[in-house]
Amino acid sequence: MMSEPLLTDLDAVLATAWAALEAGARQAKHPFHTPVVATGGADDCDARVVVLRRASPERRELAFHTDARAPKVRLLQACHTTAWAFYDPAAKVQVRAKGTTRVHIGDAVAEQAWARTKLMSRRCYLAETAPSAPAEEPTSGLPAAFIERSPTALESEAGFVNFAACVTTVARLEWLHLAARGHQRAAFAWDADAAQWRGTWLTP
Ligand SMILES: Cc1cc2nc3c(=O)[nH]c(=O)nc-3n(C[C@H](O)[C@H](O)[C@H](O)COP(=O)(O)O)c2cc1C
């Protein structure tokens, strides 16, 4: 049986998990680039794939971008906890993260995130109708002028009012490694009083 090296140090596990999240934010082809983000309410829940735009171990933050008019914005604002799930099939590693999410619209955080977006990405925020609005026929919602081309920098600025940067401050992070010699699982909870992570191994 092939044996893979197993991690035995909780600090190393935590560092590995955050390094993978940072790589996911940086590299479009990294499997952590497109996680699932879940929201829950008193009587409903939902989950969707997003693009991981930023991961910051120092600030314990994960961020994605969305349209301020999208239904998920109301869900993110209403629910106390947002859950993220990532899976890397080659490494056989799942990372789950939970925390509270702040939706930034029109503020300094949104401005900073907007400044880093490409013109092609900004095009989505120029859609004339809100995401999830019913339509009589198939539609991208984009103005006709931007179906075949990206907006110019000047044209793209009209999209900023519809741009939302959603930032989760992670309070709990869980790592699961599927291994032939037995799976490994560890969980980390942020201890706000001590300002440090508290880790523990879990039975997978
Ligand atoms: C690969 C992929 C990446 C996506 N990235 C985003 C994203 O970064 N932000 C976003 O709002 N929707 C993204 N979507 C679309 C969402 O999964 C979802 O369909 C849409 O945002 C509507 O979600 P809502 O009804 O919860 O608002 C992505 C979908 C896929 C398949």
Instruction: Give the domains, in start order, of the chain with CATH numbers.
Output: 10-115+159-202 (2.30.110.10)
Q: Is the pTM of this model over 0.85?
A: yes
10-residue mean pLDDT profile of the chain (204 residues): values are: 70 97 98 96 89 98 97 88 97 97 97 95 93 90 88 94 98 96 96 97 96
Which residues, listed in sequence order, are joined to residue 87 by a DSSP beta bridge? 94
Which residues, listed in sequence order, are joined to residue 86 by a DSSP beta bridge? 95
Q: For a substitution probing ligand 1, which of 37, 48, 132 has the most ligand atoms within 8 Å of its CB? A: 48
pLDDT for 1 equals 44
Which residues, listed in sequence order, are joined to residue 186 by a DSSP beta bridge? 175, 201
- Calculate how far, in angstroms, residue 187's C-alpha sits from the geometric centre of ligand 1: 27
Phi, psi of 84 (to 5 degrees): -115, 145
175, 13 contact by CB (below 8 A): yes
Nearest CA to ligand 1 atom 26: 72
Buried b (16+ CB within 10 A) or exposed e, 45-76: eeeeebebbbbbbeebbbbbbbbbbbebbebb
In this structure, the residues whose C-beta lies within 6 A of any atom of ligand 1 are: 34, 46, 48-51, 64-66, 70-72, 131-132
- Calculate how far, in angstroms, residue 90's C-alpha sits from the geometric centre of ligand 1: 24
DSSP assignments along the chain, one per residue? ---PPPP--HHHHHHHHHHHHHHHHH-TTSGGGS-EEEEE-SS-EEEEE----EEETTTTEEEEEEETTSHHHHHHHH-S-EEEEEEETTTTEEEEEEEEEEEESSSHHHHHHHHTS-HHHHGGGG-SS-TT---SS------GGGSSSPPPHHHHGGGGGGEEEEEEEEEEEEEEE--TT--EEEEEEEETTTTEEEEEEE--
pLDDT for 80 equals 80
pLDDT for 78 equals 87
Token pair 């994960």 is found at 62
- Calculate how far, in angstroms, residue 65's C-alpha sits from the geometric centre of ligand 1: 9
